[in-house]
Structure 1
């Protein structure tokens, strides 16, 4: 995949134009906070491999997840649409015994790329349904190695509730047993997939969806604690030291995958994306933002986003372009040269921003059933509603969301509130009742606001 002649980009800078469509390596962390890596501000956890990606590519300052919890974001990512357009999106998040599934007729990122002659592989977390016959292989991925549910023990690879243990490690449709720390295993498998797919002429999409640093709280040295574990839903456990170890293991695994990519000679024509599925958990650093997973405060939805594409994306560049998980489907299609109808997606292509174009204004919407949360971001302004209490913040001036401007910017507040209501009318309603599973997250918000 050698480079061809240079092409001029906005701003007069020339970059080499690669032959053929690029590969995509999409790396998603789980519950990683906005500032949990060095290049976003964390100084007590070494993340040299992720930081190097930022040095070699572009760092987004205003990137968001589709949701403040995992499975809805993954639905937005794979469909390029607001997750609330499908019943599955009302599961916040999807429980391990849920009978909800992604409809067969739904167009997905791997399916559309496969139709354009891409090899497609998912290594890691699926979390869009555990119903038989409704997994990754039925929705566009040609190979799958990982877990179907939302979180498992890092050593036992099972979802554990007391005496009930549900094994959840798969090679395609086959349940498997494997010794090792899951973060390390996923990195090793991703490297194997790169080598396997590099042997073919066709480009590839490798979705590498780590479970780290999602609970249960276990480092690579905590095998004895895993043996005694009785609850995968570890809302009260953990420590800062354990969290640091989990993030360090994540960075080390990513470094190994990137090293394999380079050894395979695929660096120059591979778009590498690194992000998280939602805001951080209790041990995350989200400064200067407030809030955490399960909340529509910035700390619950703002995520790190780094993109590297040698020769096309300027090194060590930074953009304030707002971005959302659902943008990656149209971005990949445009980058791969695949024709598509933009009206098919709620997400937009980020390619212009990636190759040096100007920042474009847009509106981003959220809702979350627990505590009746609503949010709309437009420019520097954010409309936020929590449990019937309404706010208007200037995020640029007030990233901690403390200075409520709704009684000062009355017209702006009324307009944004009305826009959110109009948008919500185009989405599916929530089913009746407020599921207790959803209330596990965002439980601190009622006390805070």
Structure 2
């Protein structure tokens, strides 16, 4: 049964590949983010908000379904897919379909990237389908919008890229956009979202027609392509490189060093790395300005008091941390911890929560706000009690995340608790970090004997959690690590009763 007093409208603001430490509300004094800072002051800021996986498509499929990636099985972006399914099955539960059946109007503007064959309309969303992973600047609707306003088309200069190991040019990382701010794809998305809010306002205010509106920006995902006002907003001379630029990859999985070479970090001088971070921060500021326009429209239309507002991202971004860019096969806080801000009608303002919560939990929360049973969002839990300051039900002291590959298959699982993080990869080197002493995750403690007790406890805990969830990654762990008592046949043969021992707390072998 829902804890919400009435069905609420929902405005869901989402960015892509957005570091939590770029917002003033999370401690950055160099990036102007007044709109999101105000949203945090008037709502609830979550300080331990994580993505279930740091890849766009599976994270977005998890938001739609309230299911962890291993369960919905959309495990990679189509652009780098090596054989995983690319779309949710038609029978999959999704929250927009549930909302539509309950009388909500659902609209989505901006990045979809939750599948290849099925678009937003297939899930009950009105709006314009914007496919792909980056701003689709050749989209017919964007071109028509530019033409109506007499604005110039997309054109770039001053490209920033490194050099690949084979001597070829690296991926484009940033560029100067030869358009005014008024012509940016971000301005276009905000305009179209405001139009959608205007269409929905009368039904929400005067009839029983609540709405869900999603505004999903493609940025600040790289490449950071910005007009002069934001490309030059932040002085690179005042930018400090992240401490994890000192990464040596000692006792780390080899793939991290290879990924660093792929993203060409070492081929660019430090002043270029500072410029890249400055441009990234400028991108964040530009998006914040567009969010301000959308929130102002919500006020103007008289919708604010009856509308829940969410802000989050699908995952983070490296921007040079650990000598990396983009995201990928490394479960660092840079890409797994993201911003999470929720403002609900009637809830206290200025709250800060430190429970471990997830992008997954948005699904159950949206359903709860609509007065719907969130039970079908099986890996999701409603945040309403936390946002309203009710602490009757305890939250788990830890959080599990997963990774299945980007550019290539590479399975990993992560257990994040108060102080420590364990990352398990049976094909390579496991990782253990003490985040109190080493917040930059530079020192892998996994093999050190003095951390044997921590390693053993966390490995057993992760194994139990994966078993409870039904995540078959635990089969890798059964033969490789001390996981405690095993009460099943890990060979799956059913032929040899001596292959396992039902002894609580004992090692398997």
Q: Counterparts of 1:265-284 in structure 2 under 5 Å?
A: 265-282=302-319
- Number of the residue aligned with 1:436: none
1:23 paired to 2:9: yes
Residue in structure 1 matched with residue 428 of structure 2 by the alignment: 388
Do the aligned partners of residues 404 and 97 (structure 1) sit closer, same or farther apart at CA in structure 2, a change above 3 Å counting? closer
Alpha-carbon contact 1:383-1:393 (below 8 Å) kept: yes
Give, in whole Å, the separation in 1 of the partners of 2:299 and 2:215: 17
Runs of 4+ in structure 1 off by over 6 angstroms are 96-99
- Paired residue for 2:439? 399
Inter-CA distance 320–31: structure 2 relative to 1 (3 Å threshold): same
- 1:304 and 2:339 correspond: yes
Aligned equivalents of 2:97, 2:140: Cα separation in 1: 20
Contact persistence 2:47–2:352 (CA under 8 A) = yes
Note the residue ranges of structure 1 that are not aligned, 5 or more in a row.
1-8, 10-16, 159-166, 225-233, 430-449
Specify every segment of 5 or more residues in structure 2 that has no aligned partner in the other structure, as ranges.
147-182, 232-261, 265-271, 475-509
Aligned to 1:139: 123
Give the corresponding residue for 1:206.
Answer: 213
1:253: which partner in 2? 290
Q: Quote how far apart the aligned CAs of 1:120 are.
A: 0.2
Of residues 38, 41, 64 in structure 2, which corresponds to 1:55? Answer: 41
Q: 1:85 aligns with which of 71, 77, 85?
A: 71
**Against the structure 1 CA distance between its residues 111 and 96, is the aligned structure 2 distance closer, same or farther, given a 3 Å change threshold?**
farther
Q: What is the aligned partner in structure 1 of residue 134 from structure 2?
A: 151
Q: In the TM superposition, what whole-angstrom CA distance separates every residue of 1:402-447 from its partner, at most 9, and x where no partner exists? A: 4636414254133134236536853599xxxxxxxxxxxxxxxxxx
Match 1:321 to one of 345, 351, 355: 355
Structure with the higher fraction of residues in helix conformation? 2
User: Aligned with 1:126: secondary structure?
Assistant: coil
Q: Which residue of 1 aligns with 2:194?
A: 191
Comparing 65-74 and 419-428, the one that deviates more? 419-428
Asked if residue 345 in structure 1 is aligned to residue 378 in structure 2, the reply is yes
Give the 3-state SS of the residue equivalent to 1:199 in structure 2. helix
Aligned length: 378
Counterpart CA distance in 2 for 1:335 and 1:397 is 40
Corresponding residue SS for 1:373: strand
> Alpha-carbon deviation of 1:242?
2.3
Counterpart-to-counterpart distance in 1, 2:433 and 2:281: 32
Return the TM-score normalized by structure 1.
0.76
What does residue range 102-117 of structure 1 map to in structure 2 within 5 Å? 102-117=88-103
Decide which structure has the larger Cα Rg and report it. Answer: 2
Contact 1:145 1:170 in 2 (8 A): no
Q: CA deviation at 1:291?
A: 9.5
Q: Distance in 1 between matches of 2:189 and 2:10?
A: 17
